[in-house]
Structure 1
Amino acid sequence: MTAGNSADSNTTEEPVRDAFAAALRSAISDSGLSLDRIQARLQSRGIAVSVTALSYWQSGKRQPERQSSITAVRDLELILDLSPGSLLGLLPPPRPRGTSSRRKRATGGQTLTFPQEVLRELLERIGAPDALEQQQQLTLVGLHDRCHIAADGGQRAVTARAVFQAGADGQDRWLLVYNQDDPDAGPPQLEAARNCSVGRVVVDEEHGLTVAELIFDRPVNRGETHLIEYTLTNSGPPYPECQNTHYREFRRPIREYLLEVQFDSSTLPQKCWEFSRKSPNRPADRRELTIDNTNGVHAVAIDFGPGVFGIDWT
């Protein structure tokens, strides 16, 4: 979730960005290689870049910014038989990123952390155009997230266990909305682990947004509870950047949310904090956390929401 630029900064960067896109597009055309072939050659060099990201780069919709993307551009110069620096020299400076800018998105201003019109379009494509407005007949009673951070600092996977209580008979599915922090890496692989299966899935790769149906193994009637587990796994290394944070945005109250972040032993952070914000007009509440003997931290929210709750680290 990259911090947005002002209109002024966009206008100064556009000519440079267009120059990079035009040069890359021309080089790809001259090489005779398809984007699939280029992706495969990058993969053979240990560099994971999605075909969609390559397409966005050459069209000018996005620019390479994270370190692994810059490394990919260097290898692209070799694969496309270009002079060293001929593409890198056309890249504009990276847009503002990092923990501080991400924290502003996650805990300040409007709580929605992606364009609402994009979400509405995905909800319409999945057959639930009124999901944001209609009364929900499933209450999320408890949620447990376990986020795994890889040795390179990226997010390897998130495993979630959710408990619902039905407010009406015949409840048989839940809509998952997931925002990938690093859209260049492509969407994660969604797998159902317990008491559910994956139904329809729609993705907006430009914004890193995924909406998916998790279909219950059986319909749940009024007053009954249902527990499901699922996992979102990213490809790597390199794994997608997570901007040193993991959080959930709750549009409705939840009784209990448990968040664990598990770090690789070679990439332990210096400090970790729990943060929460219930209103855009109030400062975020923060509390320092202690890493345990298993290289992890956890935080618990009781009777929380609406709002944003998460863990970040240096």
Structure 2
Amino acid sequence: MGMPEDNPFAEAFGAALAARGLSLTALRRRLIESGNPVAAATLSYWRSGERVPEGASSHAVVDEIERILGLPDHALIREIPERVRVAPVRPSRSPFSDGEAQSALAETLQLLDAPALDSTRELTSLVVNDVAADGILRRRTAQTMIQSTLTETIDHVTYTLVSEIDVVDRPEITVRGARIVRDHLHASGRVYAYVMKLDQPLAPGASAMLEVTMEEYGEHRSRQPETGVAVFRPIRDLVIWTRFHPDAMPDWLEELESVDETGELFVRPLRPKASVHQARRDFGPGALGIRWGYEGRWERAELP
């Protein structure tokens, strides 16, 4: 059986055994004599790379192995790959009730040959929205910590923009922590999706930070005075901060939230101010955002 990739501990352990000319049976006997009993199968798994030492008791055994094999302190301990245990992952669910939007999303992902949306999950996300002097969203920056949910290493992730009301266009995107390798805008104008290659591959359960900034210009900018975030599975912490240009202070503000399986939209009035932040913990699946208006300058959108 070949040794799994990215397991420097197994390589160092095997090399040290070979250099000392010590078999696993002899090593296990020495460990038992020193008061560190360990199963023969466990030592075999560690040498083959199928498993790695985890927990305080296993690390104590590795300390003793270093002594028996005449290695410097921590020579093997420091080679143990980081392992993050992934909490149970709930199945993802689309927060969109519009069948056309869901169909367009499925077609777009198929055309892109995109990695599954549930190959990662968002642990935390800070989304900052800047509204321009004309009262329309101009810039959006999301700083997100993602975690791999798969049992194998991944190096590509998929992100999407989906709208049930407004037309989606290709924004100008700046990415940190990854780079866009392909994208697609659906003919319906409902979905834009892009696949990113991560700067560093994600091992099972490992996390990474991504920053994605989107800017919109010209006649194709969305004219809908609203912004929000949709999540397909629960996110630990979600913060949305929307900031208004001094010349575009809204006359009214409303918070929009949809979290249950019925897709019912809850609308709550907010006091108009220069900026508004929304914070949720263990939120989703669902959608959260705000919309605003200007009496006498823009017509107020009708409530759903």
Shorter-chain TM-score tier? 0.5 to 0.7
Instruction: Give the letter aligned to residue 204 of structure 2.
Output: R
1:261 paired with 2:242, answer yes
Instruction: Give the letter aligned to residue 179 of structure 1.
Output: V
Match of residue 131, structure 1, among 116, 137, 161? 116
Taking the aligned partners of 2:120 and 2:269, their CA distance within structure 1 comes to 33
Q: Is the 8 A contact 1:203 1:211 kept in 2?
A: yes
Taking the aligned partners of 1:238 and 1:152, their CA distance within structure 2 comes to 14
1:159 paired with 2:141, answer yes
Instruction: Give the letter aligned to residue 127 of structure 1.
Output: D
Match of residue 162, structure 2, among 155, 179, 196? 179
Taking the aligned partners of 1:161 and 1:282, their CA distance within structure 2 comes to 26
Taking the aligned partners of 1:271 and 1:120, their CA distance within structure 2 comes to 36
Other structure's SS at 1:266 match: helix
1:1-314 → structure 2 map (5 Å cutoff): 111-112=97-98, 115-128=101-114, 131=116, 136-167=118-149, 168-179=151-162, 182-183=166-167, 186-192=169-175, 194-236=176-218, 239-242=221-224, 244-279=225-260, 281=262, 283-290=264-271, 295-314=274-293
Taking the aligned partners of 1:187 and 1:197, their CA distance within structure 2 comes to 16
Residue in 1 aligned with 2:7?
none
Structure with bigger gyration radius: 2
Unaligned runs of 5+ in 2: 1-94, 294-304
Q: Is the 8 A contact 1:111 1:280 kept in 2?
A: no
Residue in 1 aligned with 2:48?
none
Taking the aligned partners of 1:153 and 1:209, their CA distance within structure 2 comes to 23
Q: CA, structure 1 residues 239+153, in 2 after alignment: closer, same or farther (shift >3 Å)?
A: farther
Taking the aligned partners of 2:96 and 2:193, their CA distance within structure 1 comes to 20
Q: CA, structure 1 residues 208+275, in 2 after alignment: closer, same or farther (shift >3 Å)?
A: closer
Taking the aligned partners of 1:116 and 1:238, their CA distance within structure 2 comes to 23
Q: Is the 8 A contact 2:183 2:195 kept in 1?
A: yes
Other structure's SS at 2:107 match: helix
- Residue 232 of structure 1: CA displacement? 1.3
- Residue 303 of structure 1: CA displacement? 0.4
Instruction: Give the letter aligned to residue 308 of structure 1.
Output: A
TM-score normalised to the size of structure 2?
0.58
Q: Is the 8 A contact 2:169 2:220 kept in 1?
A: no
Instruction: Give the letter aligned to residue 266 of structure 1.
Output: D
Q: Is the 8 A contact 1:156 1:236 kept in 2?
A: no
* Paired positions, count: 197
Unaligned runs of 5+ in 1: 1-108
Other structure's SS at 2:121 match: strand
Q: Is the 8 A contact 1:112 1:249 kept in 2?
A: no
State the Cα deviation string for residues 62-107 of structure 1 (Å, max 9, x = none). Answer: xxxxxxxxxxxxxxxxxxxxxxxxxxxxxxxxxxxxxxxxxxxxxx
- Residue 114 of structure 1: CA displacement? 5.1
Residue in 2 aligned with 1:92?
none
- Residue 208 of structure 1: CA displacement? 4.1
- Residue 313 of structure 1: CA displacement? 2.0
Q: Is the 8 A contact 2:101 2:191 kept in 1?
A: no
Q: CA, structure 1 residues 311+280, in 2 after alignment: closer, same or farther (shift >3 Å)?
A: same
Q: CA, structure 1 residues 216+110, in 2 after alignment: closer, same or farther (shift >3 Å)?
A: closer
Q: CA, structure 1 residues 187+114, in 2 after alignment: closer, same or farther (shift >3 Å)?
A: farther
Other structure's SS at 1:300 match: strand
What is the Cα-based RMSD across aligned positions, in Å?
Answer: 2.6
TM-score normalised to the size of structure 1?
0.56
Q: CA, structure 1 residues 250+238, in 2 after alignment: closer, same or farther (shift >3 Å)?
A: closer
Taking the aligned partners of 1:282 and 1:230, their CA distance within structure 2 comes to 27
- Residue 227 of structure 1: CA displacement? 0.3
Q: CA, structure 1 residues 152+208, in 2 after alignment: closer, same or farther (shift >3 Å)?
A: farther
State the Cα deviation string for residues 241-298 of structure 1 (Å, max 9, x = none). Answer: 12x2211222211111111111111111123233312125475444444555xx2111
